[in-house]
């Protein structure tokens, strides 16, 4: 089928439309410290100094007409198939959260079953968190090398397997061993889930959907608490783990029913057309992986430091929260579960709201705003003694904690090396998790030293003072995160879906700054390249009511699908008033386009 695209690839107009933005005045080698700082802030084309760019500010340079504030309009921009990709990634992350928090919500039952103290059961959480980085590295590399689909499916099946195995353990040593293996496979989910959910959706909607996606983790907490409330008294604690294994299998089935990411389908077709063998492709992949690490080592170190703080913030405020309510505040098991559900509801709402806000305020500033919110509500979180006040404090603090977290999926996705989003984001996330893995253990040990008389308990009976412990940990971590967000890179609005994948030549040296538009992505409501192509094709041809859809690789700097509504051959009857002759245009366009499947 002949396809007519104007301007033809190779023309100055086409090159200007598709050329990635390069770092300005980069006189330093890319692998050096100063060389990496050249592209640290992708939006410095406005002439700001590096020091000035470190201060995040509300983006006001765009006119209001270019901003979509209505979240429903943002969601309407997402195509049905892209919604399915998003739901698949979101659900995988939700069940991942459910499976992790099955231990948290049943910790008192596990203490009784294994005849152990809280600190011993908390050790299983520590082991789970420690081993997650190994899974993130393994599955992240596999996902970047082979694609998102089957690596995530296998990952979820293994999670279901170890969740079932947890219910069959009969002794404490076996329990620790199974939860360690569970930690390995759990660590592989987040990077793949975030990439699956966000790389296919329009840039203007990514902030909102990032918050919704990350909120799946706290929704998993809510579902685990509900399952504990509904099942354990009647069927025992093992029923919660059976439930977790079942929904993990469901998540695997959902992902298996969807096709591979379009970016990987096209990349594989290009490799097939070039006649590259699997061995040659693997050689390219590892060469690009080495190149990526060489020019991004500073970004890797910073990412681990940042995610260490984020993980301490989350686990420090959640893992022993039920124990805090039960032991320090004397709430009943029913009230503990109810308060946990309310707090997690606040986390889910805060995550979505912060992601939406970050689309306009910027990723770093949005996260900082919610850190301030979190700090403001620490007293209400830890000082009251009644169920109502504690629940309100828990709701507000988790609104802030996971509001800050709502920015993380899209922020890490945008500042990651574009070809290695799954592995970079997943590994930095889980290495931070590993470093933060002693959070529950530290708080449990501190509770043995810091004692309080408790509430609604017999006078003279001291209990762990988890209120003070949680307050100290949370306040310290907020300061840490402020520092590293201030020092952090910025690539808001990056069109990372247009980058080469990890097994293509040049993928490892691509930078986030290369795919940020000059008009700064958080405000622009459309994909400039796609609009340009559609407008030019519409101008070039007389389009009939029903037109086939095609996919084009347009330009040399990016390899991404661009969906165009193009005419049937019979509809092309005359030369356009402007632009090159039909035959010349066809000659340029035909090798780059194929029928949309």
Q: Are strands 562-565 and 549-552 parallel, antiparallel or unpaired?
A: antiparallel
More confident call, 9 vs 46? 46
Residue 468 CB contacts under 8 Å (≥ 6 apart), including other chains: 382, 450, 452
For the segment 250-257, the average pLDDT, to the nearest whole number, is 94
**DSSP class per residue in 1-67:** -----SSPTTSHHHHHHHPPPPPTT--S-TTSHHHHHTTSBTTGGG---HHHHTS-----SS-GGG-
* Alpha helices per DSSP H over 466-527: 466-486
Q: What angle is formed at CA 293 by the lines to CA 287 and CA 296, rounded to 5 degrees?
A: 135
What is the rounded radius of gyration, in angstroms, for the C-alpha atoms of the chain? 26
pLDDT digits (tens, 9 = 90+) for 332-348: 888 887 888 888 889 88
DSSP lists the bridge partners of residue 550 as 564, 595
Domain ranges of the chain: 73-486
Closest CA to 567 of 593, 543, 537, 591: 543
pLDDT of residue 102: 92
Residue 425 pLDDT > 70: yes
pLDDT of residue 478: 96
pLDDT of residue 12: 39
pLDDT of residue 115: 87
- The architecture in CATH of the region 73-486 reads Up-down Bundle (1.20)
Dihedral sign, Cα of residue 324, residue 328, residue 329, residue 335:
positive
Residue 85 pLDDT > 80: yes
Q: What secondary structure letter does DSSP report for 201?
A: S
Residue 561 pLDDT > 70: no
> φ, ψ for residue 552 (rounded to 5)?
-125, 140
Cα separation, 476 vs 499, in Å, equals: 38
pLDDT digits (tens, 9 = 90+) for 173-188: 999 999 999 999 998 8
Contacts within 8 Å (CB) and 24+ apart, 582-588: 582/4, 584/8, 585/4, 585/5, 585/6, 585/8, 585/540, 586/2, 586/3, 586/4, 588/5, 588/8, 588/9, 588/10
């Amino acid at each position: 089928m002949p396809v007519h695209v104007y301007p033809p690839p190779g023309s100055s107009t086409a090159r200007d439309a598709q050329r990635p933005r390069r770092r300005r005045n980069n006189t330093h080698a890319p692998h050096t410290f100063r060389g990496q700082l050249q592209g640290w802030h992708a939006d410095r084309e406005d002439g700001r100094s590096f020091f000035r760019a470190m201060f995040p500010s509300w983006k006001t340079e765009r006119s209001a007409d270019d901003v979509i504030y209505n979240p429903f309009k943002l969601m309407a921009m997402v195509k049905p198939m892209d919604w399915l990709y998003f739901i698949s990634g979101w659900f995988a992350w939700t069940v991942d959260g459910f499976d992790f928090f099955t231990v948290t919500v049943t910790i008192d039952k596990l203490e009784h079953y294994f005849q152990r103290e809280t600190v011993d059961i908390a050790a299983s959480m520590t082991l789970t968190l420690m081993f997650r980085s190994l899974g993130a590295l393994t599955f992240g590399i596999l996902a970047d090398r082979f694609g998102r689909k089957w690596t995530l499916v296998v990952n979820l099946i293994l999670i279901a397997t170890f969740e079932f195995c947890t219910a069959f353990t009969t002794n404490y040593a076996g329990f620790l061993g199974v939860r360690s293996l569970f930690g390995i496979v759990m660590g592989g989910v987040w990077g793949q889930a975030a990439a699956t959910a966000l790389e296919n959706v329009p840039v203007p909607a990514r902030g909102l959907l990032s918050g919704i996606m990350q909120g799946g983790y706290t929704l998993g907490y809510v579902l685990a608490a509900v399952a504990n409330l509904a099942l354990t008294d009647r069927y025992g604690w093992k029923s919660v783990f059976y439930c977790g294994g079942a929904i993990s299998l469901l998540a695997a089935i959902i992902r298996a029913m969807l096709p591979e990411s379009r970016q990987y389908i096209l990349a594989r077709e290009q490799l097939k057309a070039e006649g590259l063998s699997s061995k040659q492709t693997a050689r390219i992949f590892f060469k690009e992986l080495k190149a990526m690490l060489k020019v991004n080592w500073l970004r890797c170190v910073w990412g681990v430091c940042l995610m260490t703080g984020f993980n301490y913030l989350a686990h420090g405020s959640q893992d022993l929260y039920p124990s805090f309510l039960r032991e320090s505040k004397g709430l009943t098991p029913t009230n503990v579960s109810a308060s946990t559900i309310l707090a997690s509801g606040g986390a889910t709402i805060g995550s979505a709201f912060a992601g939406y806000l970050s689309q306009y305020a910027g990723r770093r500033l949005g996260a900082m705003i919610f850190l301030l919110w979190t700090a403001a509500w620490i007293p209400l979180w830890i000082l009251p003694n009644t169920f109502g006040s504690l629940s309100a404090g828990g709701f507000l603090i988790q609104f802030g904690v996971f509001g800050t977290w709502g920015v993380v999926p899209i922020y890490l996705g945008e500042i990651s090396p574009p070809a290695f989003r799954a592995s970079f984001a997943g590994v930095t996330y889980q290495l931070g998790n590993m470093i933060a893995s002693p959070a529950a253990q530290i708080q449990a040990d501190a509770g043995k030293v810091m004692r309080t008389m408790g509430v609604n308990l017999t006078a003279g009976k001291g209990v762990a003072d988890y209120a003070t412990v949680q307050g100290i940990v949370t306040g310290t971590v907020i300061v840490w995160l402020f520092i590293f967000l201030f020092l952090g890179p910025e690539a808001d609005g990056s069109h990372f879906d247009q980058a080469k994948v990890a097994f293509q030549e040049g993928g490892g040296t691509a930078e986030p700054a290369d795919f940020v538009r000059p008009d700064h992505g958080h405000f622009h409501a459309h994909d400039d390249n796609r609009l340009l192509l559609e407008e030019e094709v519409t101008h070039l041809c007389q389009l009939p009511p029903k037109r086939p859809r095609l996919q084009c690789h347009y330009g040399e700097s990016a390899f991404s699908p661009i969906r165009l509504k193009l005419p049937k051959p019979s509809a092309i009857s005359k030369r356009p008033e402007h632009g090159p002759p039909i035959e010349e245009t066809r000659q340029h366009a035909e090798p780059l386009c194929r029928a949309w499947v």
